[in-house]
């Protein structure tokens, strides 16, 4: 069955469809539906390392690096499900960045431990400071087939769906208007 790529941006969509007092609740509800769908479809997650510098009182501290105790703790908790590391210039699976860009991706099996970590975060905020500290932009796969990506810093998702999957998401409560088709180039 043919699969198509869609952007879904719950925050923007809520502004278009709902009065102000209903938006926050709708975003939480839609994210829960989308998260359940993605986790039911995928067997692997790719997490992109997110490093940063803070300059408090002139001394630089680095977050998300191998010497950052919080990131070390996250990696240790997930290590039994570690599959592989890939370094390339693609921040997202199908979008090549600048020639000299470098992104470090860690692939993990979607075990109960990894799913618990994902479920303790919100997909739609940036950066991930809790159970996935030091990572961003979870990308999901099923037997190497692309399922979807969460673009953490933008608060939207990209999903690869066939028509029955899209229809089921609509039936579960995602507005049909949420699915913005990405045309192949």
Range in 48-52, 73-77, 94-98 the model is least confident about: 94-98
Inside any domain, residue 134 = yes
Inside any domain, residue 78 = no
pTM value?
0.85
Distance CA 165, CA 21 (A): 30
How many domains does the chain contain in total?
1
Q: Check residue 3 and give its pLDDT.
A: 93
Answer with the residue of higher pLDDT: 1 or 174: 174
Full residue range of the structural domain in which residue 43 is found: 4-50+83-182
Inside any domain, residue 9 = yes
Residue 5 has pLDDT above 80, yes or no: yes
Q: What is the pLDDT of residues 107-160, one digit of tens each?
A: 999 999 999 988 887 766 555 567 888 888 899 999 999 999 988 777 788 999
Distance CA 46, CA 11 (A): 24
* φ, ψ dihedrals at 152, nearest 5°: -55, -45
Q: Which two tokens stand for residue 119?
A: 């479920």
Query: Contact 182/94 with Cβ under 8 angstroms?
Result: no
Inside any domain, residue 35 = yes
* φ, ψ dihedrals at 155, nearest 5°: 75, 35
Q: Check residue 178 and give its pLDDT.
A: 87
Count CB neighbours of 46 within 10 A.
22
Inside any domain, residue 71 = no
Q: Check residue 26 and give its pLDDT.
A: 86
Inside any domain, residue 73 = no
Which range among 26-35, 46-55, 58-67, 95-104 has the greatest average pLDDT? 26-35
Inside any domain, residue 172 = yes
Inside any domain, residue 55 = no
């Amino acid at each position: 069955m043919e699969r198509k790529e869609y952007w879904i941006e719950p925050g923007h969509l809520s502004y278009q469809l709902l009065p102000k007092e209903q938006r926050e609740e709708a975003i939480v509800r839609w994210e829960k539906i989308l998260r359940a769908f993605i986790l039911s479809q995928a067997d692997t997650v790719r997490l992109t390392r997110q490093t940063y510098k803070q300059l408090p009182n002139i001394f630089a501290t680095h977050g998300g690096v191998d010497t950052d105790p919080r990131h070390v703790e996250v990696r240790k908790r997930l290590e039994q499900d570690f599959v592989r590391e890939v370094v390339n210039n693609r921040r997202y699976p199908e979008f090549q960045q600048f020639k000299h860009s470098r992104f470090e991706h860690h692939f993990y099996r979607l075990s109960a431990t990894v799913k618990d970590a994902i479920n303790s975060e919100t997909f739609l905020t940036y950066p991930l400071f809790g159970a996935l500290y030091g990572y961003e932009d979870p990308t999901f796969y099923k037997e190497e087939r692309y399922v979807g990506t969460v673009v953490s810093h933008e608060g939207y998702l990209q999903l690869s769906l066939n028509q029955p999957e899209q229809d089921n998401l609509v039936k579960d409560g995602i507005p049909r208007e949420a699915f913005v088709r990405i045309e192949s180039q």
